[in-house]
Structure 1
């Protein structure tokens, strides 16, 4: 996680004479310096005041408040913009994952009930920030207007702002449907068949949510949803409708659903990052990564598998895709193994790397049970309480 930061450039609009100590400038040199100063001040945006706070009737775009996600461990490249400048994941030493602060811009729209929230979502434009006041918003909510990389759309609220899907037997509590470059931050989602679903979404950030009391999985990225970040969320109590579908975070689609979700092609939901989440009381895997997905990262999460149920739900993380990095995570309590890979189709379930994880299995299986070929388990993973041992393959130093 530690590497030398690049040199910091001076803030925009800063005028600095080169050469160290002040020197006397005369004649033309003084004139040149004065002109340079005027140009620098003009370039700093002097004359434009602070951002105006607008009320619930305003719909104009606002400047982006996002910053870039710094490189992940081992200088792994970023998966896109993030809404905080403290993305440090869990150290992997156990205990709940500390949530990074959620830094949302000043609201351009404030809502306080389900009707006003639906109206704000329908009228959302790039650059807007929608603020949810504390209260319960009952219903199923959908965003369909994309933001942009430079002008994302924010939906923010505190933990007291609760989206209640109205029941665990049908529908999504919150649906990003083609709505790329959204930032969902800080609020609670509960009581839906699925919690948060992203379909055909790029560059979204789902951060600092509490997702609980869900019929199936809590957060699902699918239908070619790539380059998204799921981070610092607290996920619990899933699988209330069907325990076999009670994943915490689900990436992609099973092959059996490709004709439904991805035109009978592999659901290439690629390069997603799942970082710093605390996932517990899920009846299926904390993180399930499907065949057809490539190049994602699972970094610094904590898992508690005490509620895992059924013969197929027997690990915290199951990787069926290719080229995933699984690093610095901490798990405890499993009814089977800690981490797994599977080959569902030829060519899938390979090229995955497991390093620096801590697995307190307390169960009958392995710390790392890799049933597909071409994967790496580093020797720096720590395993306790696994009846079968560290891993079913030799570790790599």
Structure 2
């Protein structure tokens, strides 16, 4: 009997571990007061409480440790990245192969501009140098310059690690478990990249990465390793990974801007905004959710942080809803505003499904082909 009891205890512990983890979307409960919409109808229905689904099981977030991180302290002021499009200065060094790129990244200093000649740069690359607002570090190339991470099962194709004030512009990143990973990165612009054929998420800002801009990128074909982890742009860290990434503190990756990106063929949300993040913007992007996979990847944008503005985006094709909010941690998932977005849902859900309190959907949002209508809350002027 003692052995059987011990075996039962082990089994129960394993079960508890198995069901903890990654946050996800909501289920498909129909609220009272919902009616069927025509393709061009605008909706407003009675507010109602829709509980979020249990967290989807997660695996530990990999954290690479190669190279020193030249990150300022969390309290040091760092000017934000410019929101407008940036240009690359004349090259201070031009590279043509993987070895010379790694050497240039290792030697980079404030004001340097590294130019990638056309060609394939095979391997995983790490940038750690600190630029300044007046003298950023630039890493630039044309679409014919390709960083190839060598496989979708492990590693970051390009890792910005404690790199402040970088300008990462113009080239292609492909074939990594993660495409562009930014840890403790501030004041940086990631612009006009093509990030494609990625095992999990394409572009990820985490570990107190704040005041950055992700703009005008083409993101496509993610989730090739595990579809449930195939987000396009991922901000912050899920609570289940805070102890791995941020010493058990909320990942305050704040005031980041996601602007003008074209995101398609992602198996996870086009933009996933985690609990712990505050004050960012998702503006003027286009989303195609035709490849969204799994019960939790059921919207283009999922907001679990606070005080985000989601404005002027256009989406089409979703298996459930267009935009969602969730409360994964008490006090988070509130203060967010959805304004002037256009959603052709082509799905059975809402244009906007808010399952946490204190958020606003303005009446200038346009929703078509959403079976349940505009939103599960009243719109606001």
Q: Which bracket does the TM-score occupy, shorter chain normalised? A: 0.7 to 0.9
Give, in angstroms, the shift of residue 212 of structure 1: 0.2
Does residue 81 of structure 1 match 2:65? Answer: no
1:351 aligns with one of 326, 332, 335: 335
Match of 1:306 in 2: 290
- In the aligned structure 1, how far is the partner of 2:82 from the partner of 2:351? 33
Does residue 230 of structure 1 match 2:214? Answer: yes
Match of 1:172 in 2: 156
Does the 8 A contact of 2:223 with 2:268 survive in 1? Answer: yes
1:147 aligns with one of 131, 135, 138: 131
- In the aligned structure 1, how far is the partner of 2:231 from the partner of 2:81? 24
Which protein, 1 or 2, shows the higher relative CO under an 8 Å CA cutoff with sep ≥ 6? 2
Does residue 264 of structure 1 match 2:248? Answer: yes
Give, in angstroms, the shift of residue 81 of structure 1: 2.1
Does residue 161 of structure 1 match 2:162? Answer: no
Match of 2:185 in 1: 201
Give, in angstroms, the shift of residue 343 of structure 1: 0.3
1:371 aligns with one of 355, 361, 364: 355
Query: Residue 285 of structure 1: SS of its match in structure 2?
Result: coil
Match of 1:129 in 2: 113
- In the aligned structure 2, how far is the partner of 1:349 from the partner of 1:335? 22
Give, in angstroms, the shift of residue 378 of structure 1: 0.1
Match of 1:107 in 2: 91
Query: Residue 257 of structure 1: SS of its match in structure 2?
Result: helix
- In the aligned structure 2, how far is the partner of 1:369 from the partner of 1:193? 30
Match of 1:186 in 2: 170
Q: Deviations over 1:103-128 (max 9, x none)?
A: 21100000000000000000000000
- In the aligned structure 1, how far is the partner of 2:130 from the partner of 2:372? 48
Does the 8 A contact of 2:81 with 2:186 survive in 1? Answer: no
Q: Deviations over 1:233-282 (max 9, x none)?
A: 00000000000000000000000000011110100000000000000000
- In the aligned structure 2, how far is the partner of 1:331 from the partner of 1:114? 37
Give, in angstroms, the shift of residue 80 of structure 1: 2.5
2:230 aligns with one of 243, 246, 250: 246
Q: Deviations over 1:19-75 (max 9, x none)?
A: xxxxxxxxxxxxxxxxxxxxxxxxxxxxxxxxxxxxxxxxxxxxxxxxxxxxxxxxx
1:326 aligns with one of 306, 310, 313: 310
Query: Residue 179 of structure 1: SS of its match in structure 2?
Result: coil
Match runs of 1:21-40 below 5 Å:
none
TM-score under structure 1 normalisation?
Answer: 0.76
5+ residue gaps in structure 2? 1-78
Query: Residue 260 of structure 1: SS of its match in structure 2?
Result: helix
Q: Deviations over 1:212-247 (max 9, x none)?
A: 000000000000000000000000000000000000
- In the aligned structure 1, how far is the partner of 2:265 from the partner of 2:297? 12
Query: Residue 256 of structure 1: SS of its match in structure 2?
Result: helix
Match of 2:271 in 1: 287
Say which one has the larger Rg: 1
Query: Residue 237 of structure 2: SS of its match in structure 1?
Result: coil
TM-score under structure 2 normalisation?
Answer: 0.79
Does the 8 A contact of 1:342 with 1:371 survive in 2? Answer: yes
Does the 8 A contact of 2:80 with 2:186 survive in 1? Answer: no
Give, in angstroms, the shift of residue 79 of structure 1: 4.7
Does the 8 A contact of 1:79 with 1:273 survive in 2? Answer: no
- In the aligned structure 2, how far is the partner of 1:209 from the partner of 1:80? 17
Query: Residue 81 of structure 1: SS of its match in structure 2?
Result: coil
5+ residue gaps in structure 1? 1-77, 88-99
CA RMSD of aligned residues (A): 1.0
Give, in angstroms, the shift of residue 208 of structure 1: 0.2
- In the aligned structure 1, how far is the partner of 2:191 from the partner of 2:327? 31
Runs of 4+ with deviation above 3 angstroms: none
